Amino acid sequence: MGNISRRRVLSLGAVLGLAGVASAPEAWAWSSRGSLAGTDAVTDPFQVWDPEPDEVAARLLADGVIPAVNTAWRSWVDNADPLPSGMPDYLTSYLQQVNRLPSWADATALAASERYYKRLASYLFVSQSLGSGIMSTVIPREARAVYWSAGGADMKERAAKTFTFGYDLNSETAWQPTGHFVVTANKTRLVHSVVRNLLPTSARFMETSDQPKPISNGDILRTFHSVATYAHSNLLKWGIRLSAAEQEADLHAWQVALHLLGVRREFIPATWADALAQAEHMLWPNLGPTTEGTSLAETLLGYITQPTLGLATGFVHEFVRYLLGDEMCDWLGLRRDWAQAALIKVEWPLYVAFREGTSGVFPGSGYLFDQALRGIAMLYLNNGTSATQTPVTLPAANRPGA
């Protein structure tokens, strides 16, 4: 099913990916009038990074204390946990400044987002794991940054850490003292900063990079759209009943999340309409295959289709194709299974209708979707050893051989 149109994906980004070489990015034209800042400026987020934590990360690497920090972080999990001992003073000082919600965070909206995620967790998981997770491999900058970083050498662990970010945000206690998301976001922001320091030292990464360093504000926003904006569109497409208040709560949770990741207010969309417009400018025209992304996709799909999960390769590949459309899946070389394609096309809408209470008939293959949700969740949650958490740790080096 062509959920993502050819008009969107056949673009400069596709040409860049197909050619496998760096190219000048498209000029930035999105106005901050549609942002939380509400100003009317045109500033390119792909030229904006995160200098304060980047400086902290540089010191951590220079001082050789990454292992000690990772050890200290084991006790820092819940939002209400005190900052751990055993960290350098400059890291503690930095975290004391950022380990809190912004003044504009709306507690009522965040509480509503927790209820929203509890109700819709299964749909979001389908969209974010099989959809966004594989889409990330056809975002050229993201695919190359992931591949050449330390996480690219152990994609099961890297995917588990990425899943933990989404799991903690989509938790029914995300923003509460016993929730984890504020801590997870702060750890993830520092991971980004360490990677920004490490990857420019990789000759292999810099050969294909069109930036002086990776993970700019624009790159984080592009990932946001591939996860959150894409999921929002999917829920509406699948006929999920969403109130205006629920949609606003979902967006607000992501707005706070982007802030915690170091994205400036002038880039954070103010409404879903603004988010959709921004995605049209920065995500869909910039998708394409890369050698690195194809390798990552093959690895990820191999984990999902391993025999222990009981999910046939044809079912998984066709479910991804149903979510992403033919173009992206052809880029990645996903083989066709027409029987599974026909089953998913008919029975996924029936499965959604049954779960939403608009149909009393449970589809004959509904168990496959249940099995997929359970199996993939446990695969990515700390390699199946934890029901909720995979510790987020700082890398100390790039991928071996980078």
* R_g of the chain computed on alpha carbons: 20
Judged against a pLDDT cut of 80, whether residue 66 lies above it is answered with yes
* Band (4; pLDDT cuts 50, 70, 90): very low
Residue 376 and residue 130 in contact, taking contact as beta carbons nearer than 8 Å: yes
User: Residue 10: what pLDDT?
Assistant: 36
In the block, residue with structure tokens 């980078």: 402
pLDDT, tens only, 187-220: 999 999 999 999 999 999 999 899 999 999 999 9
Q: Pull the structure tokens for residue 143.
A: 């695919």
**Distances from the Cα of 136 to the Cα of 114, 177, 347, 385, angstroms:** 25, 31, 26, 25
User: Residue 302: what pLDDT?
Assistant: 80
Measure the CA dihedral 31/33/36/37, to 10°.
100
3-state secondary structure (DSSP) of residue 188: helix
**How far is Cα 169 from Cα 114, in angstroms, rounded to an integer?**
8
CB burial of 137-146 (b: ≥16 within 10 Å; e: otherwise) equals bbbbbbbbbb
Percent of the chain with pLDDT over 70: 87
Of the candidate ranges 63-72, 78-87, 179-188, 351-360, the one whose mean pLDDT is the lowest: 351-360
Residue 150 and residue 397 in contact, taking contact as beta carbons nearer than 8 Å: yes
Judged against a pLDDT cut of 90, whether residue 342 lies above it is answered with yes
Q: Who wins on pLDDT, 144 or 24?
A: 144
Q: Who wins on pLDDT, 310 or 349?
A: 349
At residue 354's C-alpha, the angle toward residues 351 and 356, to 5°, is: 110
Question: How much helix, strand and coil, in percent to the nearest 5, is found in the chain?
Answer: 65, 0, 35
3-state secondary structure (DSSP) of residue 287: coil
Percent of the chain with pLDDT over 90: 68
**How far is Cα 328 from Cα 137, in angstroms, rounded to an integer?**
9
Residue 147 and residue 287 in contact, taking contact as beta carbons nearer than 8 Å: no
Residue 292 and residue 143 in contact, taking contact as beta carbons nearer than 8 Å: yes
Measure the CA dihedral 316/321/323/328, to 10°.
130
User: Residue 130: what pLDDT?
Assistant: 87
* β-strand partners of 398: 149
**How far is Cα 324 from Cα 136, in angstroms, rounded to an integer?**
11
Of the candidate ranges 8-12, 266-270, 297-301, the one whose mean pLDDT is the lowest: 8-12
**How far is Cα 284 from Cα 277, in angstroms, rounded to an integer?**
11
**How far is Cα 348 from Cα 341, in angstroms, rounded to an integer?**
11
The set of residues, in sequence order, having a beta carbon less than 8 Å from that of 255 and lying 6+ positions away, is 36, 268, 269
